[in-house]
Amino acid sequence: MSKQRLIRFIILGSLSLFALGGQLQVLKPDYPIRPVDFPQVKLEDEFWAPRLEINRTVTIPYLFKLDEETGRTDNFRLAAGLKKGKHTGKRYNDSDVFKAMEAAAYSLRTHPDQELRNKLDELVAVISKAQEPDGYLFTTRTIDPANPAPGAGAERWSNLRVSHELYNVGHMYEAAVAHHITTGERSFLDIALKNADLLVRTFGPGKRRAFPGHQEVELGLGKLYRVTGNRQYLDLARFFLDERGHYHGGETYPADSPFVIYNSEEYLQNHKPVLEQAEAVGHAVRAAYMYSGMADVSALGGWPEYAAAIDRLWDNVAGKKLYITGGIGSTGEYEAFGADYELPNALAYAETCASIGNAMWNQRLFELHGDAKYIDILERIIYNGLISGVSLGGDRFFYQNPLESAGKYKRSSWFEVACCPANVARFLPTLPGYVYATGGDSLYINLFASGTARIELPGRSVELIQETKYPWEGTVKILVNARPGGSFAIRIRIPGWARNKPVPTDLYRFLDQSEQQVRLWVNRKPVDFKLENGYALLRRKWRSNDLIEIILPMPNRRVVAPDLVKEDAGKFAIQRGPIVFCAEGIDNRGRALNLVLPDGAKLEHWFRPDLLGGVAIITAKALAVDRSTDGRILDQRPHQLMAVPYFAWANRGPGEMRVWLPRTPAAL
């Protein structure tokens, strides 16, 4: 076996042994690179810090309020026998409460709040009473076993591809782990473990053979394994993954279910065994959760074949099915991936939950491989297609995130299917944990935001103080305080967009190449750095008060898609740094769909502290074109175009919007 293969085998799989204190210790497999836990990173920038604060003070309380008003919380009280009545809402509504609880638990890790803590304690007590004696927890069946919500199935586990029984408890597991880590208490964790033990007794080889229609329990089981070390939970996650591609049919669907009109096997990623899948198909959120679960199983279980499978799937998504905003899922009717290069704009679904799943998947791929290309995708997602899902005020939301609108889309205060608001709320408190990572003696700087971090490396503690106005400006200063000082590597991601590559595949390209170079200094002296897997590698003896300075050039860029993306033919998108821009009618005399931006028009950049909480804008001399119903050009006149960041669109009411701007009137 070659040295490289041996190292990979140890990292991804086999149990390794080492001597410590004269005793033989067993090392469990894990990701070779680990993120710095988010409580160790304090963001103090003007971009993320206000969003995290709004999430804490507005969005999370808002979720709990609406869970009460819509009966989601009362479903647990009914199941617990604390109230009388009928189950309210959909069979998957339990998950919305669990996600809100996870968001609250993560928020409490960095911002103690007794009122919020009391709310969590109350809910945990109710959920404990709602749980059946053997660990089963599904409020719609417990409340009225003979008449559960449509799609839930007549008996336990009888309609798993539709019922969401396992999806719900997967979110409970994640919430329970967050609660346990935050509080140190086991009250919620014990509920989760009791349920997980029921699943272990019920499912597996020689037991019940089935898989969850909506992936999520695999992620929750992985987290329970991390907390408890109980291998049965990880083995069950692998079992559920491996069941796909082998069992078809036998379920009953509600009348409004997409299963009755869509290829249900592809919709569920059940058309092939997961290890044989090479094209992303079906429901985009389910797929992204499954790919993340496969990454966990690969890293934690030592099964590298799952990593190989998701590497192939990533090539397909990043190379053929990714929106310029980082969104995935192009067919709105089914919330699913389309064919290769099928990326419609006005009909784009690009669900907020899918962006979150895509971010989680790319983060895990980075932790497996240490390649900056995955963080390039993650950065595109979080600055564009993810935070577009929540309003600047924190209480209005998008379920889908189209790249073009005739004015019919507007932000909603709630949805009957309310997965997206709570999903954003649980993601944002953890965002500081995406900034830094460690692996061996290397410290990775992945994202750029002002703030401080305390990081442990072998034999030393490192404090980083980052100062920047990113994403609006590309200058970044990082003060390094190493105690004790010594030799280790700092790896600074040099974004693809700063190296003339908007995405790490051939899916998109900049229309022109920039000659501006990334520059880097250490202690005021220029450094000729080596680029390794997208990182500037700085290995030296670090001391306290060492200063790193980076300048990432931020020219205003035009991005074009290949001819295979028919919707974007003859058009381009505007990008500056990691931010994708769009034209909104409110800034352009009420229209956006009639605008043409010729190739020669100069793109000007401005910062507007008075607009949308403080954003950059792009202006240019464009054309406003009037066309007849049969496509004839009736008039074209000069127009001063103004474009704003895509994430901020529709915060001033509904109206026309367009990301991909025609280069000529013929492309309108």
Phi, psi of 208 (to 5 degrees): -75, 135
Tokens representing residue 215 in the block: 């992936």
Query: Is the separation of the CB atoms in 650 and 657 below 8 Å?
Result: yes
What b/e string do you get for 78-105 counting C-beta neighbours within 10 Å, with b at 16 or more? bbbeeeeeebbbbbbbbbbbbbbbbbbb
**Residue 108: enclosing H or E segment and its boundaries?**
helix 94-110
The answer, yes or no, to whether the previous bond of 484 is cis (omega within 30 of 0) is yes
Query: E strands along 113-220, which residues?
Result: none
CA–chain centroid gap for 203, Å, is 29
Residues in the chain, overall count: 668
Instruction: Single out the catalytic residue among 419, 567, 582, 656.
Output: 419
Cα(45)–Cα(49) distance, integer angstroms: 6
Active site residue 419: yes
- CA 590, CA 573: separation in Å to the nearest integer? 20
**Element (H or E) spanning 454, and its range?**
strand 451-457
- Quickly count: other Cβ atoms within 10 Å of residue 68's Cβ: 12
What tokens appear for 390 in the block?
């929540």
Question: Are the beta carbons of 451 and 41 closer than 8 angstroms?
Answer: yes
Bridge partners of residue 333, in order along the sequence: none
User: What's 244-303 look like in SS3?
Assistant: CCCCCCCCCCCCCCHHHCCCHHHHCCCCCCHHHCCCCCCEHHHHHHHHHHHHHHHHHHCC
Which class for 651: exposed (0-12), middle (13-18), buried (19 or more C-beta within 10 A)?
A: middle
From 216, 251, 265, 335, the catalytic residue? 335
- Tokens, residue 310: 């998701």
**Is 420 among the catalytic positions?**
no
| Residues annotated catalytic, as ranges | 335, 419
